[in-house]
Structure 1
Amino acid sequence: MAALTKDRDTAERRNRDFSIPAAASKTFYAGALMCVSATGYGTPGATATTLKALGRVKRQVVSPAVDGQVTVEYERGLFRFANSTSTDLITRADIGSPAYIVDDQTVAKTNGSNTRSAAGIIRDVDDLGVWVEF
């Protein structure tokens, strides 16, 4: 494509609200960690190496037994999730590092010996959990 020679009406999409076709037979709870699978369908957060974190599920959806029959709305932003435990507990010293997906509501300090996908960047830690940026 050649460089512009006149004004262009460039489409805009706000970087917050999105939706994605859901993987088959999944339950997405509002507030859950939202991911996309290796096949391109939305799936709740889980321990797996093939997921890419997207954000937070906006409202509950139960998908039927066929991929892509319903869509799941999700939000990008900065959200608080539950902190892992023991040696995977995230502390203030981890701010700025990646958090890793344990399940649809929990993040951990490590990739669990290469068994977990990255969730996002740790931006804060408080008594109630870990603030992760998507």
Structure 2
Amino acid sequence: MGDAKVNGRRGTFQLDNCAAADIGADFFLVDDETVTKTDVGGARSKAGVVLDIECGKVWIEI
């Protein structure tokens, strides 16, 4: 694998959650719409910090 560039936006986004969330915790990317609490030994990129939890979804500040 080589280096890749990704265009992104900073802000606060609501994403699907695959784990029990803690406000203030770091969360990691699973796919383009899902985050989780673990980075699987560094295999997942940090998505951001959980700001709020609502109906099985989390608000993440990226």
More helix by share: 1
**2:48 is the counterpart of 1:114:** no
Larger Rg: 1
- Residue 53 of structure 2 aligns with an amino acid whose one-letter code is V
Q: Percent identity?
A: 36
> How far is the alpha carbon of 1:128 from its aligned partner?
4.4
**1:82 pairs with 9, 12, 16, which one?**
16
CA RMSD in angstroms, aligned pairs only = 1.9
Higher relative contact order (CA 8 A, sep 6+): 2
More strand by share: 2
SS class of match (2:31): coil
TM-score (norm 1): 0.41
TM-score (norm 2): 0.81
What is the total number of aligned residue pairs between the two structures?
61
SS class of match (2:3): coil
Gaps (5+ residues) in structure 1? 1-37, 43-71
